[in-house]
Amino acid sequence: MSAIPITIDTEQIVSTTDAPKTKAHSPFFPVLLALVSLLLSSGFQTIHLFEEGANLRSLRASQENVFENAQKMRAQLDAIASGTARLAAAGNPRAKQVVDALRARGITIKPNAPGRPSGD
């Protein structure tokens, strides 16, 4: 068998160092995308916080009337309890029973509580 001569054209062989370099990508678009998403997220959070604040202010305004009524009722109850305590101190047996029952339940009575509120 005879050997077949192989001819290699060296001009057609391209080394890896002669290959065209790919263009490096700019970090502009990824950074821009990250900043835009951060801005949108912050905007959403800000709007959400303002809405929550408005909701809380609305809830507080709706509870003010209830709170004022509770304070009035508490003042009236304190006035009744202090009157009962004064009657018990003066010797009224029924008032003494009421004061003793309240004391047994852990309720203390301020004997010098202010009188009835003037708003009624």
Contact 83, 42 (CB under 8 A): no
pTM of the model: 0.49
Q: What is the pLDDT of residue 11?
A: 64
Cα distances from 54 to residues 39, 46, 47, 49, 69, in angstroms, run: 23, 12, 11, 9, 24
Question: For residue range 60-76, what is the model confidence (pLDDT) as tens digits?
Answer: 999 999 999 999 999 99
Residue position matching structure tokens 């304190």 = 78
DSSP class of residue 13?
Answer: -
Contact 75, 114 (CB under 8 A): yes
Which of the four pLDDT bands, split at 50, 70 and 90, describes residue 110?
confident
